[in-house]
């Protein structure tokens, strides 16, 4: 089996890349360990808490005991299915802030500043309800929509932010991210609009893309050149050869693992596990980043939350309504209002993100507050803590060792305390008076720095935004893994096109920037001149030096 290009991973980056290479007439083979994305658990937006907890769709990774969280082990879900993590995520669409990409360029990712990536975001988007064609795409494959905000709590959240003195933004993916406003989602015609639905399935239908189900064991190297991928199908091990290049888009967990198993990584670590060293790249598996968040939960004084459906009959009704009419709570991910704010004066662009949800429940759906309630997920965007992904052994079947080192930087604690205190202020505004009864979590008794820290240690959760483990930089940078054209430094015929390449985590959810990486990498692979840089400028609060809002 062979193709011009062999892509490992049918997720956000890999699907977009396959689509653009096929569009240019190339033959593409996509290797995916997971199976079909058919069925209501994935396709119904309201069922989002199910697929990430199903072994059928999730790799089932978890961290080592996290030393700064009292030894807690946190789940690290990654999609093992057509569409990858875009088939099991919360469907929230956030490009990130313009400054994120300018920072990437400053860190050595030349050609990836905001001016360079904005045209790719526009190329991929079909925005419904965004701020218009200047900043937003209107005819790309990826449909982006907004919820109806029919529950009054969504507008109460936006109004409360305004009453607390924050800006309101009509489109956080447009010119102005900072502020409170409606949230956007990869939902189209009441279905999850994953990278599989937007990109991979149309590409397969076009005839130039073939998806092969198999477990990628390593990249096959001849000298310093990648020539194919060794995969396992059942008990059978075979090689899929690439006429031109191999591209890894297997997630920020599996991509560094595959690089190391293929002899590309920190030399001493590879030798320890009996792997022959082909390129000594100490940055492989390093620089692991994520977003942590807490759920600020409140009990409701009126029975208007989703709790009324949180029983067997309610869930059956929601499912049936969605199945037969495409309407009702099942047609939304229920993240319909959000905010991006700055934690203090002197911070030039938002460093705190909010997702608002009209029920008090854990993201994985495992625990729900007894009774009507609502919550805001809140967390800092730019933690200085860094972790790693390393090999457990030289056996491809073994899961890698994942250590995020969450909360290892003292500023993380300070930032999270700010999150809690600023959130309490928002929920204390007049707009919430008709709806709010009590604070459930952390609870009114939790006030001092020490009390807040104890709560955080016990209750912070991952927002599931891992990235950075094969970071992009200049070829002269010893810790860079790929150059600004996504080529793995030190070998030939091998690239990476997923969130592994992010030098720094972006402001928000990672699906949109991961797709953008696949889109832009395609032009580099095809040897095309990148899309012309934009001269549009993003809004930055003019008073950021002296005011927090």
Q: What share of the chain is helix, strand, coil (3-state, %, to 5)?
A: 30, 25, 45
Active site residue 465: yes
Specify which residues 72 forms β-bridges with. Answer: 66
Pick the catalytic residue from 68, 97, 126, 465: 465
* Closest of 359, 346, 340 to residue 161, by C-alpha: 340
What dihedral angle (degrees, nearest 10) is formed by the CA atoms of 132, 135, 138, 144?
Answer: -90
Contacts of 402 (CB under 8 A, 6+ apart): 61, 62, 63, 64, 76, 253, 288, 387, 389
The rounded distance, in Å, linking the Cα atoms of 165 and 342 is 12
The rounded distance, in Å, linking the Cα atoms of 36 and 301 is 43
| Residue-wise burial string across 112-142, b where 16 or more C-beta atoms lie within 10 A, e elsewhere | bbbbbbbbbbbbbbbbeebbeeebbbeebbb
Is 38 exposed, middle or buried, given 0-12, 13-18 or 19+ CB atoms closer than 10 A?
Answer: exposed
| Residue-wise burial string across 521-542, b where 16 or more C-beta atoms lie within 10 A, e elsewhere | bbbbbeeeeebeebeeebeebe
| Cβ atoms 491, 224 nearer than 8 A | yes
Annotated binding site for FAD: 81, 89-92
The rounded distance, in Å, linking the Cα atoms of 255 and 427 is 41
The rounded distance, in Å, linking the Cα atoms of 356 and 68 is 27
Structure tokens of 368?
A: 């729900």
* Closest of 354, 478, 488 to residue 422, by C-alpha: 354
Specify which residues 436 forms β-bridges with. Answer: 300
| Residue-wise burial string across 310-330, b where 16 or more C-beta atoms lie within 10 A, e elsewhere | beeeeeebbbebbeeeeebbb
DSSP labels, 420-461: HHHHHHHHTSGGGTTTEEEEEES-TT--SHHHHHHHHHHH-E
DSSP classification of residue 26? -
DSSP classification of residue 45? G
Phi-psi region of 222 (alpha: psi -120 to 50; beta: other; left: phi over 0): beta
Pairing of strands 209-213, 28-32: parallel
Q: How many helices (H) and strands (E) does the chain have?
A: 13, 25
The rounded distance, in Å, linking the Cα atoms of 86 and 514 is 10
Annotated binding site: 81, 89-92
Residues with a known catalytic role? 465
């Amino acid at each position: 089996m062979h193709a011009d290009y062999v892509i490992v991973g049918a997720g956000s980056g890999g699907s977009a890349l396959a689509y653009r290479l096929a569009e240019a007439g190339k033959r593409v083979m996509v290797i995916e360990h997971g199976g079909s994305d058919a069925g209501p658990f994935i396709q119904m937006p309201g069922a989002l808490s199910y697929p990430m907890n199903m072994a059928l769709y999730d790799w089932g990774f978890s961290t080592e005991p996290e030393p700064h969280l009292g030894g807690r082990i946190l789940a690290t879900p990654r999609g093992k299915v057509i569409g990858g993590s875009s088939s099991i995520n919360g469907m929230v669409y956030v490009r990130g802030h313009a400054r994120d990409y300018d920072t990437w360029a400053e860190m050595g990712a030349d050609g990836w500043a905001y001016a360079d990536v904005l045209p790719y975001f526009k190329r991929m988007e079909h925005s419904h309800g965004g701020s218009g064609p200047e900043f937003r795409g209107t005819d790309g494959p990826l449909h982006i929509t907004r919820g109806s905000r029919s529950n009054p709590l969504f507008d109460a959240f936006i109004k409360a932010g305004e009453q607390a003195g924050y800006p309101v933004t009509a489109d956080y993916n447009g010119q102005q991210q900072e502020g409170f406003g409606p949230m956007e989602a990869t939902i189209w015609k009441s279905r999850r609009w994953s990278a599989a639905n937007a990109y991979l399935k149309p590409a397969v239908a076009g005839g130039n893309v073939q998806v092969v189900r198999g477990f990628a064991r390593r990249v096959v190297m001849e000298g310093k050149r990648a020539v194919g991928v060794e995969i396992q199908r059942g008990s059978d091990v075979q090689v899929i050869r690439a006429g031109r290049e191999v591209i890894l888009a297997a997630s920020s967990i599996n991509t560094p693992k595959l690089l190391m198993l293929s002899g590309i990584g920190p030399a001493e670590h590879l030798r320890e596990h009996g792997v022959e060293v082909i390129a000594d790249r100490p940055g492989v598996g390093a620089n692991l980043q994520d977003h942590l968040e807490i759920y600020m939960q409140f009990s409701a004084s009126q029975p208007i939350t989703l709790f009324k459906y949180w029983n067997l009959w309610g869930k059956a009704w929601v499912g049936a309504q969605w199945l037969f009419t495409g309407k009702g709570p099942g047609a939304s991910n229920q993240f319909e209002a959000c905010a991006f704010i700055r934690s203090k004066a002197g911070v030039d662009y938002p460093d705190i993100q909010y997702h608002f949800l009209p029920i008090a429940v854990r993201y994985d759906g495992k625990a729900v507050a007894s009774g009507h309630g609502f919550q805001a997920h809140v967390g800092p965007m730019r933690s200085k803590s860094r972790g790693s992904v390393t090999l457990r052994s030289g056996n491809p079947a073994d899961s890698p060792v994942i250590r995020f080192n969450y909360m290892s930087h003292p500023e993380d604690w300070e930032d999270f305390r700010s999150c809690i205190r600023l959130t309490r202020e928002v929920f204390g505004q007049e707009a919430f008076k008709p709806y709010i009864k009590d604070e459930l979590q952390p609870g009114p008794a939790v006030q001092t720095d020490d009390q807040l820290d104890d709560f955080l240690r016990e209750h912070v959760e991952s927002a599931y935004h891992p990235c950075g483990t094969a970071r992009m930089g200049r070829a002269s940078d010893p810790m860079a893994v790929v150059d600004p054209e996504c080529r793995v430094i030190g070998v030939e015929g091998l690239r990476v096109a997923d969130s592994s390449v992010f030098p720094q985590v972006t402001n928000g959810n990672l699906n949109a920037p991961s797709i953008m990486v696949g889109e832009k990498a395609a032009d580099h692979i095809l040897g095309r001149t990148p899309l012309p840089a934009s001269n549009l400028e993003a809004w930055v609060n003019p008073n950021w030096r002296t005011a927090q809002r």
